Amino acid sequence: MTRRATVSIRVDDGLVLRPATKAVVEELQEAFEETWPEVSRAMPWIDIQGDLRHQIFSFLDETERMGRSGLLHHWVMMDPRSERVMGLIGFDRVTRLERSQWNLGYWVRSLDQKRGVSKRSIHAVIGWLDRGGSVIIELKVDPNNLAGMSTVRHAVQEWCGIRAPVGDTAITVAGLRTMHHCYLIETGKRGKVEGASHQVRG
């Protein structure tokens, strides 16, 4: 697996993915507060009782450092026309299965939902990894989150991924434990994940 520093990705005229840095702490806090408490479901590391700004700063500090060395990859979704933060997307190493190298997570602020921002961003970041060779990515989603399920299934079908029930895991968010479904996508070998099928169920 090739290690690369996180770089900016221009998706289209209305969406640019920029490496997450401490420079956007204020804008990201504003976006989080606008979407509170829903954002805590996408960012389970948030302590809802703790200082939000401090947590965001610590998160951005780590992702900025790790992004330069290629150990993590997180981007801020930006509208380049207004320089407004629309969300976050990234890869971390918190995987359920040994064969997976990356876990993909994302969040879109309420103002920008239902505009295809998440699907376009997911396609862009998986495409970026795809150019670096073959890796296996986990995507986990709450089956009760219909919008999230639609987004994940779209990505799995587009990249010929598979449903991986063995990777299902219970995730605690805001004190509630919910079983999340696991899906796998392999880059560099589109359609070559063992057991892959164009039909996505579950």
Find, among 103, 69, 101, 70, the residue nearest to 89 by Cα. Answer: 103
Check pLDDT > 60 for residue 201.
no
| pLDDT tens, residue by residue, 143-166 | 988 999 999 999 999 999 999 999
Q: Could you give all domains of the chain from N- to C-terminal order, each with its CATH number?
A: 9-186 (3.40.630.30)
Q: What percent of the chain has pLDDT over 90?
A: 71
pTM of the model: 0.88
Check pLDDT > 50 for residue 196.
no
Interacting residues of 177 by C-beta distance below 8 A, sequence separation 6+: 170, 171
| Mean pLDDT computed over every residue of the chain | 88
Give the pLDDT confidence score for residue 197 in this predicted structure: 34
Burial label for 120, CB within 10 Å (0-12, 13-18, 19+), is middle
Q: If DSSP codes are grouped into helix, strand and coil, which group holds residue 101?
A: coil
> Given CA atoms 178, 57, 96, 191 in this order, what sign does their dihedral have?
positive
Identify which has the larger pLDDT, 48 or 159: 159
Q: How confident is the model at residue 47 (pLDDT cuts 50, 70, 90)?
A: confident
Give the pLDDT confidence score for residue 174 in this predicted structure: 64
Any long-range contacts for 85-89 (C-beta under 8 Å, 24+ apart)? 85/24, 85/27, 85/28, 85/30, 85/31, 85/109, 86/15, 86/31, 86/111, 86/112, 86/117, 87/31, 87/112, 87/117, 87/118, 87/121, 88/20, 88/28, 88/43, 89/17, 89/118, 89/121, 89/122, 89/125
